[in-house]
Chains A and B, each alone.
Chain A
Amino acid sequence: MTAEEFNAQLGLCQFLPGPNVVNLAVVVGKRYQGLPGAIVAPLGMLAGPFVIVLMLALVYDRYGSLPVVQSMLRGIAAVGCGLLFAMAWRMGMALKDKPVFLPFTALTVVTIAGLRWPMPLVMIAGLAVSGGIAYWRLGRK
Chain B
Amino acid sequence: MSVALELFFEFALLSFVAFGGATALLPEMHRVVVENHHWLDNTTFTHLYAIAQAAPGPNVLVVALIGWEIAGLAGALATTLAMCLPMSVLIYLLIDRWESLSGKRWQKAISIGVAPLAVGLVFSGATLIAQAAGFGWAAWALVAATVVVNLRSKLHPLWLIGIGAALGLLGLL
Contact = CB atoms under 8 A, between A and B. Distances in A.
Interface of A: 8-9, 11-13, 15-23, 26-27, 30, 35, 38, 42, 45-46, 48-50, 52-54, 56-57, 60-61, 64, 68, 70-92, 94-97, 101-109, 112-113, 116, 118-120, 122-124, 126-127, 129-135, 138-139
B51 A12 contact: no
A9 to B, nearest CB: 6
Given A46-B58, A54-B73, A81-B126, 14 more contacts: A15-B107, A17-B15, A18-B83, A19-B59, A53-B52, A64-B44, A73-B168, A80-B49, A80-B50, A81-B129, A81-B133, A91-B122, A92-B119, A103-B116
B60 A19 contact: yes
Contacts of A68: 169
Interface of B: 13-23, 25-28, 31, 35, 43-44, 46-61, 64-65, 68-69, 73, 76, 80, 83-84, 86-88, 90-92, 94-95, 98-99, 102, 105-130, 133, 135, 139-140, 142-147, 150-151, 157, 160-161, 163-169, 171-173
Nearest to A122: B117
A112 B27 contact: yes
A77 B91 contact: no
A76 B164 contact: yes
B164 A123 contact: no
A79 B112 contact: no
Contacts of A20: 21
A27 B150 contact: no
Nearest to A117: B31
Contacts of A38: 88, 92
A36 B123 CA distance: 38
B16 A120 contact: yes
A27 B102 CA distance: 16
A52 B108 contact: no
A87 B60 CA distance: 16
Contacts of B23: 84, 87
A70 to B, nearest CB: 7
B91 A27 contact: yes
Nearest to B132: A77
Given A17-B19, A57-B68, A85-B123, A101 B171 contact: no
Nearest to A76: B50
Contacts of A102: 116
B117 A127 contact: yes
Contacts of A77: 46-47, 49-50, 53, 129, 133, 164
A75 B31 contact: no
B123 A79 contact: no
Contacts of B48: 60
Which of B18, B115, B133 counts the most A-chain CB atoms under 10 A from its CB? B115
B56 A49 contact: yes
